[in-house]
Each structure stands twice: as structure tokens, then as C-alpha cells.
């Protein structure tokens, strides 16, 4: 049977669950799903508050998105629902532009658009695009998000009103200035939650530490007399029952598309990076294949369906996915059981959820935000590359000082500009025969010597992109002027890619060189390159007998080109001495023999 390509979309991927689904697998999935739900319910409520929407919408997203994304995704472990970065970016997207009376309508529409973008990226097989987001940019964005999460709910931690300031640094300063006005009970609950989370962090993968911390905060508010602090029910009571249907499309929704699209793209992209990152780590661990496009498809479908059931945006969660795998999950059904367990909590525990103090959730969010900052990775990046460190710092500053959705895009653009700047370095070397029977390469650098010769052999390395096209043409013209060759043999096998600009430079040089009586030979080419030359009608200046196809034997096509060039030059006496000796007695040996000779010359055993 012929298997479909790894990057194709399967409309019914959950069929694989039927294969070998035993009672043992069912027990593992069920236990993992229920266990993670216990951990995640307080987290989902906290993320709803972080997004500045009623907390129930975080729980609705955890119910619907987790089930749909698991059934139509690729990884059996990625758990989808509200996340810290998606919640924070959602709050930023809604706070500036959405009037209060339309907040929920726009929220559900925003969720739908995020899902639609991800779904389309899967359908059109854009899965590999996540690789174009450099680690330095994502790390800077993560540090920025962690800082905003840790400090963004200070008013709940302190038991004071939210500041009217919009700019994040100003918000933090204004809240800290009001520290003397803080509610002492709120500080005790919030800092107590934070202390428990850090104190018991080592047990967090085995026991519901967050549930313990929030449970103790509820007990504190019920037992200690005179405690008056903000509870979840004061923000928005948690309704009993499952999420009802809500059409995300409303009158005038088209007017909101251009307003929301920058934030939509940011949430969609960051969420996909998160989902693919954790999915790939766990896939490698279990020797499984992760289909990026299928995962995009499932993530997008999960968000779109969630938008019809009052869900807020989210993505694959690092913490919940890792915990799901550690708790014994085997198949995608573990996330389905997670969604069902969360739904049961909505049916039977809404009154208890209402009693959670907002200060305790603020402490939980502060813990999550601080843990997002990874000092080990930051130090490693700074010690490895100053340019990547600059990308990280720039992304971080844009994230916290400007708009959060601009942060990740700034990092991507800045890293791309630095990469283009690196690619502007042109690598052209003259090839000369060496005494051991191989070949040496002599770069064209200031002060280097290159003798005139009737035949000049060149090699180009790396990516030949538009950034070096002008320099390539100038370099070839200078070689033709200084070394005065009749034939230039250009080896392209080590050129990873050649774009139109560089091809055009080669064609223009070949044409002008031909008019002056010279010829350009290309060696080490493949069939697509030959087709490119024909399609560009450049075979008039570089005919087929000047093209030498690459073979399995290293440098074979180059040697053939050099011998043919020697037979065709009009003035063979002008061939340089090194090449003349080689042509008179060419040493044709294998690559393995060359390596043996080099080892012998270094005094190593052969």
C-alpha cells in the first residue's frame, strides 16, 4: 500500500485510535485527561482574567478546543486551550479598539479569525513557515510576555483598582506607587499562592499544586474574619452548564477584519510555534512523526469551532501537553477526556469556582510569568551570538514598550535583515591544482595573487541571492580584466541556490565575455539548472557543450571541463604553469585516495 505524503491533510485522522486501543490504553488516557483537568481548571480561569474577559470563556475554550484540536490534529499529546501568550495578546487586541458593549461579540469573532488563519495555513501546507521564526525572536517575545503576565495583574494581587493607563510600563509604575494602599488580605492570598507554587514546584508534575494553593486561598477567605477581597464571582459569576451556541458573526463584522488582523496574525503565529514546539519535542521522545500541516489544521479547526461556543483564543499549551504525556497519555483521546472532565466541572462545581480569590489567580499568573523567563537559555544565547542577542533584546523591548503583537514580527523582520546582510558576503575562489593530486582554492581577497592565464577556474560557494548579484558581476568582470582568460570554468556545485538576480549577472557576463571572444563553462550543474538556462534563452551564450553535468565522482565534471577548455583555447602557451603541468599529466584519483594522501602527508596512519 502506498502511504500518503507526510505533509498531507487527513480529514479523519482520529481513525488511528481504533488500532490497538486496549483497556490499558483507555486507563492511561482517562487518568491523564482527568488529572490534567484538575491542574488546568484554575489555570483556564486565570487566563480568562488575563484576557480581560469573563473567566468562563477560558473554561469554554478548554472544553471545546481541546476536544476538536485533539481529534483533527497530529500529535497525541498536544493539549489545546487558553494559553498565557494568547490571553495577553487578546487583551491587548480588545482593549484599545473595542467598545465595552461589543467586547464579547468581537472576542468570539477574533477567536474565529485566529482559527481560520491557522486552518488555512494547514490546508495550503504552510507548516514549514514556523521555521522562519528564529529562536532568538521567540525567546525575546517569551521573556516580554512573561514579564507582562507576571506584572500585569498587580492590581489584583494588591487588591486595588486597575489603573487607567494604557502603556504597560506606566501601568506597573502607577500600581507600585499605590503599594501603601494595598489590601493586606489580598497581598497575603496572592503572595501566599506565589510562595506555595514556588515552594512546591518540584512536586508540580505529580500533584495539583495550583489546586492546593487556590483551595487554601478559598479557605483563608472563609475562615479568617473580616476578609473582603475580590472573588471570581465579583468579576463575572461562573454559570452552571455547558457552553451554548453563539454566532461569532455580527452586524458589521467585515469592518473589524482589518482592525483585528495584525493581532490575529500574531496570535495565530505564536500559537502555532508553541503547538509545534511542544509537539515536536514529544514526537521525538516517542519516535513519532508530527505532521505540521495536520497540526495546523486541527489547531485552526479547534479555534473556529470554539468561537461558536463562546471560547477565547488559545493554542497548544507547553505545560498541559507535557503534563498530559507525563501522566501516561497514549493517544489523542487523553485530550478528549480532558475536555469532558472540564465540562463536568462546569456542570457540578460552578459555585466553588465562584469563590476563588482574584488575588490567588494573580499569584498563579505571576508564577507562570516568572517561569516563562528562562535565564539559562538567555545566557547561552548571549554567549553564542551577539547578533542574536540583539534580536532577542529588540523583540523584548518592542513587546513591552509598544504593542505586544508587534514584538514577534519585529524579531522576525530584524533576524531576516541580519540574515540577508550575512548572505551579502560573496564567496568566489580560484581553483588551482595541488601537489597531492587534489585542488586548492584561493579566495579573491585584497592582496591575494592570481596569475594571468588562458584558462581560469572558479568556484562559487553558498547562497547566491540578489544581495550579492552586483558584486558577482563586478568580480567576474575584474577577473576577466586582470587575468585575461579566454575561457572561464565556473564550478557551481557548492552553490546551494542561485536566484534570478545572480543568474542574470552570470548571463550578462557570459554575453559580454562572448562578444570579446571568451567563453564561460559551467560545471557541477544538474538537470533543473540546465532547464533554467534554456528557459532563460541563455544557451546562446552558454551552449550545451559548455555545460558539464554533476556526477557521483567528485570533481569529475570539472576535470572534463578543464581538459576540453585546454583543447579549445587559441593560445595554449598562456595557460598558467600549474594548470599546464596538470594538463600534461593529470592525476585522476578517487576522493578516498586523496584523503589517504592527505593523511599520509600529515603523518597519520593510512
Taking residues 578-597, what's their average pLDDT? 66
Q: Which of 270-279, 427-436, 468-477 is least confident?
A: 270-279
Sign of CA dihedral 141, 146, 148, 149: positive
Q: What is the pLDDT of residue 436?
A: 77
Taking residues 8-29, what's their average pLDDT? 87
**Closest residue by Cα to residue 148 from 408, 396, 410:** 396
- Residue 130 falls within a domain, yes or no? yes
Q: Which of 274-278, 301-305, 474-478, 563-567 is least confident?
A: 274-278
List beta partners, residue 463.
497
Q: What is the pLDDT of residue 462?
A: 82
In order of 168, 303, 399, the CA distances from 259 in angstroms are: 21, 19, 19
Q: What is the pLDDT of residue 4?
A: 41
**For the chain, what is the mean pLDDT?**
86
Taking residues 66-71, what's their average pLDDT? 96
Q: Where are the beta strands (DSSP E) in 313-470?
A: 315-316, 427-433, 439-443, 455-464
Residue 197 contacts residue 363 (beta carbons within 8 Å): yes
Q: What is the pLDDT of residue 529?
A: 86
The secondary structure of residue 186, as a DSSP letter, is H
**Closest residue by Cα to residue 74 from 19, 124, 16, 26:** 16
- Do 478 and 337 lie in one domain? The reply is no
- Residue 168 falls within a domain, yes or no? yes
606: pLDDT confidence band, cut at 50, 70 and 90? Answer: low
pLDDT at 213 over 50: yes
- Do 246 and 330 lie in one domain? The reply is yes
| Cβ neighbourhood burial of 326 (10 Å; 0-12, 13-18, 19+) | middle
Taking residues 212-220, what's their average pLDDT? 90
Which of residues 392, 417, 442 is at a domain's end?
417
Taking residues 474-484, what's their average pLDDT? 93
Q: How far apart are alpha carbons 64 and 203 in whole angstroms?
A: 29
Taking residues 458-486, what's their average pLDDT? 90
Taking every pair of C-alpha atoms in the chain, what is the biggest distance, in angstroms?
106
What is the number of residues in the chain? 606
- Residue 5 falls within a domain, yes or no? no
List beta partners, residue 427.
461
3: pLDDT confidence band, cut at 50, 70 and 90? Answer: very low
Q: How far apart are alpha carbons 500 and 453 in whole angstroms?
A: 30
pLDDT at 334 over 50: yes
pLDDT at 600 over 90: no
Q: Is the model more confident about 420 or about 455?
A: 455
Q: What is the pLDDT of residue 558?
A: 93
Which of residues 393, 417, 441 is at a domain's end?
417
- Do 349 and 450 lie in one domain? The reply is no
**Closest residue by Cα to residue 364 from 517, 159, 157:** 157
Q: What is the pLDDT of residue 287?
A: 79
**First-to-last C-alpha distance (Å) of the chain:** 47
- Residue 10 falls within a domain, yes or no? no
- Do 375 and 458 lie in one domain? The reply is no
596: pLDDT confidence band, cut at 50, 70 and 90? Answer: low
pLDDT at 181 over 80: yes
Residue 114 contacts residue 83 (beta carbons within 8 Å): no
Q: What is the pLDDT of residue 478?
A: 93
**Closest residue by Cα to residue 229 from 295, 157, 312, 285:** 157
- Residue 376 falls within a domain, yes or no? yes
Q: How far apart are alpha carbons 288 and 270 in whole angstroms?
A: 23
Taking residues 22-36, what's their average pLDDT? 87
pLDDT at 480 over 80: yes
What DSSP letter does each residue of 462-492 carry, written as one string?
A: EEE-GGGHHHHHHHHHHHHHHH--SEEEEE-
Taking residues 507-517, what's their average pLDDT? 92
Range of the domain at 328: 22-417
- Residue 248 falls within a domain, yes or no? yes
Q: How far apart are alpha carbons 306 and 321 in whole angstroms?
A: 19
- Residue 33 falls within a domain, yes or no? yes
- Do 342 and 444 lie in one domain? The reply is no
CATH assignment at residue 548: 3.30.750.24
Q: How far apart are alpha carbons 27 and 133 in whole angstroms?
A: 38
The count of structural domains within the chain is: 2
How do residues 242-279 score in pLDDT, each as one tens digit? 888 999 999 989 999 999 998 999 899 888 888 887 78
- 540 backbone dihedrals φ, ψ, rounded to 5°: -70, -30
- Do 283 and 345 lie in one domain? The reply is yes
311: pLDDT confidence band, cut at 50, 70 and 90? Answer: very high
603: pLDDT confidence band, cut at 50, 70 and 90? Answer: low
Q: How far apart are alpha carbons 317 and 34 in whole angstroms?
A: 16
- Do 391 and 468 lie in one domain? The reply is no
- Do 372 and 478 lie in one domain? The reply is no
Which of residues 417, 438, 464 is at a domain's end?
417
Cβ-based neighbour number of residue 227 at 10 Å: 16
Q: Are strands 427-433 and 487-491 parallel, antiparallel or unpaired?
A: unpaired
How do residues 394-420 score in pLDDT, each as one tens digit? 989 998 888 777 887 888 888 878 777
Q: What is the pLDDT of residue 595?
A: 58
Q: What is the pLDDT of residue 319?
A: 76
Q: Is the model more confident about 46 or about 128?
A: 46
Q: Which residue has the cell 496570535?
A: 267
The three cell numbers of residue 415 are 533576524
Q: Where are the alpha helices (DSSP H) in 349-385?
A: 350-354, 358-372, 375-384
- Do 169 and 132 lie in one domain? The reply is yes
- Residue 457 falls within a domain, yes or no? yes
Q: Is the pTM of this model over 0.75?
A: no
Q: How far apart are alpha carbons 273 and 197 in whole angstroms?
A: 27
- Do 362 and 456 lie in one domain? The reply is no
592: pLDDT confidence band, cut at 50, 70 and 90? Answer: low
- Do 405 and 365 lie in one domain? The reply is yes
Residues whose CB is less than 8 angstroms from the CB of residue 289 and which lie 6 or more positions away in sequence, other chains included? 6, 283
Residue 443's Cα: distance from chain center in Å? 36
pLDDT at 208 over 80: no
Residue 32 contacts residue 328 (beta carbons within 8 Å): yes
Q: In a 3-state reduction of DSSP, which class is residue 18?
A: helix
- Do 215 and 359 lie in one domain? The reply is yes
pLDDT at 545 over 60: yes
pLDDT at 205 over 80: no
Q: Which residue has the cell 593510512?
A: 606
Residues whose CB is less than 8 angstroms from the CB of residue 342 and which lie 6 or more positions away in sequence, other chains included? 37, 40, 41, 44, 59, 62, 63, 66
Amino acid at each position: 500500500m502506498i502511504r500518503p505524503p507526510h505533509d498531507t491533510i487527513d480529514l479523519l485522522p482520529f481513525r488511528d485510535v481504533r488500532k490497538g486501543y486496549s483497556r490499558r490504553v483507555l486507563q492511561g488516557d482517562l487518568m491523564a485527561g482527568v488529572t490534567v483537568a484538575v491542574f488546568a481548571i484554575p489555570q483556564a480561569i486565570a487566563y480568562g482574567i488575563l484576557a480581560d474577559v469573563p473567566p468562563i470563556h477560558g473554561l469554554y475554550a478548554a472544553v471545546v478546543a481541546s476536544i476538536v484540536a485533539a481529534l483533527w490534529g497530529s500529535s497525541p499529546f498536544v493539549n489545546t486551550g487558553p494559553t498565557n501568550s494568547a490571553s495577553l495578546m487578546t487583551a491587548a487586541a480588545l482593549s484599545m479598539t473595542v467598545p465595552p458593549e461589543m467586547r464579547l461579540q468581537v472576542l468570539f469573532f477574533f477567536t474565529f479569525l485566529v482559527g481560520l488563519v491557522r486552518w488555512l495555513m494547514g490546508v495550503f501546507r504552510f507548516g514549514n513557515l514556523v521555521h522562519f521564526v528564529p529562536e532568538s525572536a521567540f525567546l525575546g517575545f517569551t521573556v516580554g510576555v512573561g514579564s507582562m503576565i507576571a506584572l500585569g495583574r498587580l492590581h489584583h494581587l494588591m487588591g486595588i483598582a486597575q489603573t487607567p493607563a494604557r502603556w504597560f510600563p506606566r501601568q506597573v509604575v502607577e500600581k507600585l506607587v499605590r503599594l501603601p494602599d494595598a489590601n493586606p488580605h489580598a497581598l497575603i492570598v496572592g503572595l501566599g499562592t506565589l510562595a506555595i507554587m514556588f515552594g512546591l514546584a518540584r512536586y508540580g508534575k505529580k500533584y495539583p499544586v495550583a489546586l492546593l494553593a487556590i483551595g487554601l486561598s478559598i479557605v483563608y477567605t472563609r475562615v479568617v474574619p473580616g476578609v473582603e477581597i475580590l472573588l471570581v464571582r465579583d468579576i463575572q459569576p461562573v454559570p452552571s452548564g455547558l457552553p451554548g451556541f453563539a454566532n461569532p458573526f455580527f452586524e458589521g463584522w467585515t469592518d473589524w477584519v482589518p482592525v483585528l488582523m495584525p493581532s490575529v496574525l500574531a496570535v495565530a503565529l505564536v500559537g502555532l510555534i508553541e503547538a509545534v514546539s511542544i509537539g515536536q519535542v514529544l514526537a521525538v521522545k516517542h519516535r513519532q512523526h508530527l505532521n505540521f500541516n495536520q497540526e495546523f489544521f486541527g489547531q485552526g479547526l479547534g479555534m473556529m469551532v470554539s468561537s461558536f461556543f463562546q471560547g477565547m483564543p488559545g493554542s497548544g499549551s507547553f505545560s498541559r501537553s507535557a503534563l498530559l504525556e507525563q501522566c501516561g497519555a497514549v493517544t489523542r483521546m487523553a485530550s478528549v477526556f480532558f475536555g469532558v472532565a472540564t465540562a463536568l466541572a462546569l456542570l457540578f462545581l460552578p459555585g466553588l469556582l465562584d469563590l476563588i480569590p482574584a488575588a490567588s489567580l494573580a499569584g498563579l499568573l505571576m508564577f507562570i510569568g516568572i517561569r516563562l523567563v528562562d535565564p539559562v537559555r538567555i545566557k547561552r544565547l548571549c554567549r553564542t551570538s551577539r547578533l542574536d542577542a540583539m534580536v532577542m533584546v529588540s523583540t523584548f523591548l518592542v513587546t513591552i514598550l509598544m504593542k505586544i503583537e508587534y514584538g514577534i514580527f519585529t524579531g522576525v523582520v530584524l533576524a531576516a535583515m541580519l540574515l540577508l546582510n550575512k548572505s551579502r558576503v560573496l564567496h568566489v575562489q580560484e581553483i588551482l591544482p595541488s601537489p597531492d593530486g587534489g585542488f586548492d582554492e584561493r579566495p579573491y581577497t585584497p592582496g591575494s595573487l592570481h596569475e594571468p592565464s588562458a584558462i581560469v577556474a572558479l568556484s562559487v560557494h553558498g547562497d547566491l541571492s540578489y544581495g550579492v548579484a552586483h558584486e558577482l558581476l563586478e568580480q567576474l568582470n575584474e577577473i576577466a580584466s586582470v587575468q585575461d582568460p579566454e575561457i572561464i570554468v565556473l564550478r557551481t556545485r557548492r552553490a546551494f541556490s542561485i536566484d534570478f538576480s545572480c543568474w542574470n549577472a552570470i548571463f550578462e557576463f557570459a554575453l559580454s565575455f562572448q562578444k570579446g571572444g571568451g567563453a564561460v563553462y559551467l560545471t557541477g550543474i544538474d538537470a533543473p539548472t540546465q532547464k533554467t538556462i534554456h528557459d532563460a534563452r541563455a544557451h546562446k551564450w552558454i551552449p550545451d557543450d559548455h555545460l558539464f553535468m554533476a556526477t557521483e565522482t567528485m570533481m569529475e565534471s570539472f576535470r572534463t571541463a578543464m581538459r576540453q577548455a585546454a583543447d579549445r583555447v587559441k593560445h595554449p602557451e598562456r595557460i598558467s604553469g600549474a594548470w599546464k603541468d596538470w594538463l600534461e599529466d593529470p592525476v585522476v584519483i578517487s576522493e578516498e585516495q586523496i584523503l589517504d594522501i592527505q593523511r599520509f602527508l600529515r603523518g597519520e596512519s593510512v
